């Protein structure tokens, strides 16, 4: 064997290895003789038999190409591309051996005679099925996300309109509407953790009752996993009951208690009972508000059941009966129960919050939220530093004197933790106002309060006042 032959053999070996590693199958189509030469690697991808295969024109390949892709395939291969120029086409290939459909990418170079007639095509075939499946899944997820976002926006709009129709003051509207948004946010957090397959009923109870009145609430019942639609409805229903109990019922006094119990029903649904005791004497309401309408109509309809509320003198008793359609199959991997929301600062100010003289840094990448925070803290008397919308902006503002800070956890894809680390070293108090549901307390493990979005700006102002209590000198 000559040195030239050895070099050619080595080059061929390297080419073979490269094609194998890349997962490519090579072919040569002799159009003058009407033969398609199928290699072993191409055969593994396409299901064509190894060796020569009769194929005089593209028409001979039509039975193996998905009907929706035939036009593009034929147009690409029959185009008058100059000799030596590469063509490339992606299509669904129907394997002749087992009938399976796979996505393939074919790229090749056409050799032509002096008159421009195609003589030979040399090229490669690649199985791109995994990529196409991933693209399809991504498109499906994006469409589903778009659908859910529009549903959430429509729900928020409806809540705003219905709440506004039944409130007589701006303060009452903000409090009621903000609380309902909070309930939706809590349910959404749980649903996201379960990839929107649903939520466990005990997790919903913990999210709504866990931090309201420690030691005064209890919940118990068998393991039940609800559909996403039912989980949102139940979260709103529990919020309305809890808000009423805090304002007028058992949770408005230290001696009151709320017991929440649920049980399975023979038809596959469940019944949930809310019982208040130890609170003020209950008098039936003189008018029917949106909360009652939400409980009796929306919640019961979304749960495919019925709701009843009894205003006993000793305490409110509400029963929610749900049909089997509200219960979802338990997923193989159920998210862990959320931690008790002790880390979340829930402050109800007894009067106007006074932040006079306090220099408060705002770090928030959502412009509207930052504007609202700036207005709310300024109205409370604070001197606002910022707002900073980017991590670099926030770091640059740390040179100024700062008494406290409100930090969003994520700034356009960048973590706010570098800012938190500087503040912590300086012993400057801060809180996180975030839409992220941390599995255990504050982001980064900091010993800092957390307020979950959506929030009421007065709640943030009151939380900042709590941070500064005992830190700043009294005026």
Q: Where in the chain is the domain with CATH 3.40.50.2300?
A: 359-468
| One pLDDT digit (tens) per residue for the chain, 475 residues | 454 444 445 555 665 666 666 678 889 999 889 999 999 999 999 999 999 999 988 899 999 999 999 998 888 877 766 666 788 999 999 999 999 999 999 998 888 888 878 888 898 999 999 999 888 878 776 765 565 566 556 556 656 766 676 677 777 777 667 766 665 666 566 656 545 567 888 888 887 777 666 678 888 999 888 888 888 788 878 878 887 887 788 988 889 999 999 999 999 999 999 999 999 998 887 766 656 766 776 666 778 888 888 889 999 999 999 999 889 887 766 555 554 433 343 444 445 788 998 999 999 888 777 888 888 899 889 999 989 989 999 999 999 999 999 998 888 778 899 999 999 999 999 998 876 654 456 787 888 888 877 677 888 888 899 888 855 544 4
CA distance 268 to 270: 7
Q: Where in the chain is the domain with CATH 3.30.450.20?
A: 15-127
Measured in degrees and rounded to the nearest 5, phi and psi for residue 104 equal: -130, 155
The strand pairing partners of 36, in sequence order, are 29, 53
CA distance 3 to 9: 10
Chain centroid to Cα 130, Å, comes to 24
CA distance 416 to 408: 7
Dihedral of the CA atoms 201, 194, 329, 155 (nearest 10)?
70
Return the number of other C-beta atoms located less than 10 Å from residue 430's C-beta.
Answer: 23
CA distance 158 to 298: 12
The first and second tokens of residue 466, run together, are: 């709590």
What integer pLDDT is reported at residue 188 of this predicted model? Answer: 63
Largest CA distance in the chain: 107
Chain centroid to Cα 52, Å, comes to 52
Omega of the bond leading into 387 within 30 degrees of 0 (cis): yes
Looking up tokens 């040569």 gives 28
Q: Where in the chain is the domain with CATH 3.30.565.10?
A: 133-341
- CATH superfamily of this structure's domain 15-127: PAS domain (3.30.450.20)
Question: Strand 51-54 vs strand 225-226: parallel, antiparallel, or unpaired?
Answer: unpaired
CATH, domain 133-341, list 3.40.640.10, 3.30.565.10, 3.40.30.10, 3.40.50.720:
3.30.565.10
54 burial type by CB count under 10 A (0-12 exposed, 13-18 middle, 19+ buried): exposed
CATH 3.40.50.2300 fits 359-468, yes or no: yes
The strand pairing partners of 27, in sequence order, are 38, 123
Return the number of other C-beta atoms located less than 10 Å from residue 286's C-beta.
Answer: 5
Going edge to edge, which strands form the sheet with 257-264? 217-220, 257-264, 270-277, 315-322, 306-312
């Amino acid at each position: 064997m000559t040195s030239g032959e050895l070099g050619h053999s080595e080059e061929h070996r390297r080419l073979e290895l490269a094609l194998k590693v890349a997962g490519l199958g090579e072919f040569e189509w002799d159009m003058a003789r009407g033969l398609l030469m199928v290699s072993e690697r191409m055969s593994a991808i396409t299901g064509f038999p190894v060796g020569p295969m009769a194929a005089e024109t593209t028409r001979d390949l039509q039975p193996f190409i998905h009907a929706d892709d035939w036009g593009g395939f034929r147009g690409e291969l029959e185009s008058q591309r100059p000799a030596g120029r590469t063509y490339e086409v992606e299509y669904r290939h129907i394997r002749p051996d087992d009938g399976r459909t796979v996505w393939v990418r074919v790229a090749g170079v056409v050799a032509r005679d002096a008159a421009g007639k195609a003589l030979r095509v040399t090229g490669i075939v690649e199985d791109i099925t995994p990529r196409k499946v991933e693209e399809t899944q991504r498109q499906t997820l994006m469409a589903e996300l778009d659908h859910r976002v529009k549903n959430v926006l429509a729900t928020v709009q409806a809540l705003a309109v219905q709440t506004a129709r039944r409130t007589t003051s701006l303060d009452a509207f903000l409090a009621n509407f903000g609380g309902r948004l909070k309930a939706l946010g809590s349910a959404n957090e749980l649903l996201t953790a379960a990839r929107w397959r649903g939520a466990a009923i005990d997790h919903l109870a913990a999210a709504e009752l866990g931090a309201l009145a420690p030691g005064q609430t209890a919940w118990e019942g068998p393991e039940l996993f609800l559909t996403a639609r039912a989980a949102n409805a139940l979260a709103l229903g529990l919020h309305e009951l809890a808000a009423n109990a805090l304002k007028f019922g058992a949770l408005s006094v230290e001696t009151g208690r709320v017991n929440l119990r649920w049980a399975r029903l023979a038809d596959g649904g469940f019944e949930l009972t809310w019982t208040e005791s130890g609170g003020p004497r209950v008098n039936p309401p003189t008018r029917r508000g949106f909360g009652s309408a939400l409980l009796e109509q929306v919640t019961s309809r979304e749960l495919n059941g019925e709701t009843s509320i009894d205003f006993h003198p000793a305490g409110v008793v509400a029963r929610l009966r749900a049909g089997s359609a509200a219960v979802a199959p338990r997923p193989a991997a159920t998210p862990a129960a959320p931690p008790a929301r002790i880390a979340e600062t829930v402050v109800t100010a007894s009067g106007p919050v006074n932040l006079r003289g306090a220099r408060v840094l705002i770090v928030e990448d959502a412009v509207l939220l930052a504007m609202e925070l700036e207005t709310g803290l300024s109205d409370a008397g604070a001197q606002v530093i910022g707002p900073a919308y980017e991590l670099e902006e926030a770091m640059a503002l740390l040179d100024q004197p700062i008494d406290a800070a409100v930090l969003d956890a994520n700034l356009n894809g960048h973590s706010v933790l570098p800012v938190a680390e500087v503040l912590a070293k300086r012993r400057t108090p801060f809180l996180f106002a975030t839409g992220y549901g941390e599995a255990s307390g504050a982001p980064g493990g900091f010993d800092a309060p957390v307020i979950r979005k959506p929030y009421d700006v007065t709640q943030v102002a009151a939380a900042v006042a709590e941070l500064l209590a005992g830190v700043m000198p009294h005026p």
